[in-house]
Structures are given as C-alpha cells and as structure tokens.
Amino acid sequence: MGGRLGGKVALITGAASGIGLATAGRFLSEGASVVMADVQAGAVEAEASRLAADGLPAVALVMDVTSSDDNRRAVEVAVDRFGRLDILFANAGIGYSGAIVDATDDDWDRVMAVNARGVFLSARESIRHMLAQDPPGGSVIINGSISGLAGIPGQAPYAPSKGAVVQLTRQLAVEYAARGIRVNCVCPGTVDTPVLRRGMAMSGDPEGFLAMLIAGHPIGRIGLADEIAAAVAFLASDEASFITGAILPVDGGYTAR
C-alpha cells in the first residue's frame, strides 16, 4: 500500500484504546502493517478485528509491557506476520492522580513498572531486532507527557515515570543514531481518552478537574487522540529522517508558558 508509511511494519503497545488505537488507525491509513499489542485481550482483539475486516493489515497481540518475554514475543509476531519491524510506538501507560502523601508504595511500583520499565523493555527488544534485520534500522517513538517536562501537582508517581522515558529517548537516540535507528518522544498535553476519564473520576471533582486542566492549555481546550497520532506518524515516517532525540510537546502550548 502507498502512503508515507507504505511497506513499513509497526508495533504499537497500548493499542486497544485512546492514543494507541488512534495511532493504529493512522498508521494503517498511511500504509503500514500494524501489530496492535495490549493487556486488555477482549478490547484489542475486537479493535484489530474491526480494522482487519476493512481489509487492513492489523493483528492483535495480548501482552503485558512489564514482561520481557511478552516484549520479545511482540517482536516475533511482527516478524512472523509481516517480515520485519520498522516502527515501535511505545505508548502503553497508566495514569495516577493524587498527592504524594496519599500515594502508596504499590502506586509507585505499579506506575513505574508500566510507564518506565515497560518502555525500556519494549525499546530494548525492538532495537535488538532493528539492529539485526536486513537492512538494519527503524524508528522508535516513545509516548511521554507534559508531566515529564513540567511540575504538575498531584502526579507523584506518574511524572517521574514520564521523566524517565524522556531521558531514555535522548540516551537511545545518541546511542543508535549512527546505526540507522531514530528515537523520538511525543509529550502530549491533556488528551480526551479513557485514562483521562479515570483520572477525572479519581479526583473527586470531575468537572472542576477538567476545567483546571483546560485552563493550563493556552489553546483553550484539551487535545484529541488523533492529534497525537498525527505527530507520531510524522516522526515514524521518512519525512522525519533527520530528527532523532527530539522531545516534541503536542500540548496546545502547555509547556510554552
């Protein structure tokens, strides 16, 4: 299929919902074949089946990004089904809302396990394959957050998990630039997805919480998953061939203040 991503094979983690699902649709519409990986079996299988029913090359994979075995298997599925792996969108993540004084030891471990360790494992297994394949190379895009760039109250375990992947992006970009692998990070502002809805519910004042979030964005609204997907597709494509190590806010001006 033609398009900016024609002939490329992508793995997207957290593809059952929100930004990951929107990016799967975007990648497919631009010509990529996509492995849609997620821990929610029913949801990811339903979404991949829906896209495949339209004749698009999408397959579902049930996996947990905190498992190195599962991340190895995800790469194997991409190679078995589509022949190689050109793009990783390390997107799976979980949110957290609350003050540090209320956060438990388990809150820290759980959020860091998915948002930081999960990205580390997905990137490691994908890059191992990208280095070895013929021809070598690839594009890794990590989903960070404005919380990885600025102090935002009430995100004690979440913000450090995103700070970790921002720095992982820079480090991997420098390490693999000369070997044909680009590594970039998108840092979304608030985006209307299920993780945001869960954060609103946890806040105890959903409408006040949303109004506070909107007020932080100079553009005067929160973002859409498709707006993040558009930035990810650009970074994944050869149009971004001289871009590596970039930390791209997609945030309606949040971090420009």
Applying CB under 6 A, the span of 1-9, 52-60, 74-82, 89-97 interacting with ligand NAD comes to 89-97
* Pick 39 or 183: Cβ nearer ligand NAD: 39
113: its two tokens: 């396990």
Across-strand partners of 59? 35
157-186 binders of ligand NAD (CB under 6 A): none
Applying CB under 6 A, the span of 61-69, 103-111, 131-139, 233-241 interacting with ligand NAD comes to 61-69
Applying CB under 6 A, the span of 8-16, 47-55, 167-175, 202-210 interacting with ligand NAD comes to 8-16
* Pick 38 or 125: Cβ nearer ligand NAD: 38
* Pick 158 or 176: Cβ nearer ligand NAD: 158
Asked whether position 155 contacts ligand NAD by CB under 6 A, the answer is: no
Catalytic residues: 158
Applying CB under 6 A, the span of 9-17, 127-135, 174-182, 230-238 interacting with ligand NAD comes to 9-17
Choosing from 97, 122, 193, 237, the residue that interacts with ligand NAD (CB under 6 A) is 193
Asked whether position 122 contacts ligand NAD by CB under 6 A, the answer is: no
Site size with ligand NAD, rule: CB under 6 A: 29
The least CB distance from residue 98 to ligand NAD, in Å, is 15
Asked whether position 74 contacts ligand NAD by CB under 6 A, the answer is: no
- Tokens 């959903």 sit on residue: 206
The per-residue DSSP string of the chain comes to: --STTTT-EEEEESTTSHHHHHHHHHHHHTT-EEEEEES-HHHHHHHHHHHHHTT--EEEEE--TT-HHHHHHHHHHHHHHHS---EEEE-------B-GGG--HHHHHHHHIIIIIHHHHHHHHHHHHHHHSSS--EEEEEE--GGGTS--TTBTTHHHHHHHHHHHHHHHHHHHGGGTEEEEEEEE--B-SHHHHHHHHHHS-HHHHHHHHHHT-TTSS-B-HHHHHHHHHHHHSGGGTT--S-EEEESTTGGG-
Binding site for ligand NAD (CB under 6 A): 13-14, 16-20, 38-40, 63-66, 91-94, 114, 118, 143, 145, 188, 190-191, 193-196
